[in-house]
Amino acid sequence: MDRPTTPLKDMYPNMATCKLKTSVRVQIVEQDLNIGDLCPDLTRNHTLKAGDIVRVFDPQIEVLTGQQNVPCPESYGYRIEGSLDFTVYLRKHQSMIQCETERFYHGNIQPVVFPVLSSDWDMKNGYPIGTIATVKKALTFSNRTTVFSPGELLVISSIPKTPRGQRYKSRDPIEKAVYDIRPIQASQKTLRVRNTTGNRVFHSDLERIS
């Protein structure tokens, strides 16, 4: 016997507020980040949990249920939009910094967060562009007026180079590699998150609130 189905008129309208009955994988809405913001979680999957409040939109038929395969709300999957808190790194200014003392070497950088790396990346060849790190010893900037204190945050903005500015080669000692950097600061931000089109949430997994 077919299970009871909900009349199609009871479909949830676009941007209706609902509560999730199940957990859903989501990704950050990239448009919520300003130009220059760095968020290592941008390309990763995250989870909204059962009980989280979301808005629904863009319903599409996923399966047909009911008598004679008549479309009903249970046939539809929705895109959803919720929010989660993330650490976002803000650039303090736009200019790239090339430090002038011996303390800008590879060995003076303590990685904090790596970008998403390809499976064949070898750390023996240095830290990749986008690595967020702290400074172990003070750094003097090229204008000689600003000092980067130990523990301050930076992001690596170049491939590893030799002290003369040439491309680093794997046979060179990695401890002598140098990088261009940008100073950054950490900030907590609430960002929108959405499920992908291939991971829709069914009508029965949502409870409408308003």
Q: Which residues in 49-74 are b (16+ Cβ under 10 Å) and which e?
A: eeebebbbeebeeeeebeeeeeebbb
- Report pLDDT digits (tens) over 55-114: 999 998 877 555 556 677 788 899 999 999 999 999 877 667 776 666 678 888 999 988
The predicted pLDDT at position 171 comes to 75
The two tokens of residue 173 are: 């000692």
pTM metric for this prediction: 0.80
The predicted pLDDT at position 186 comes to 94
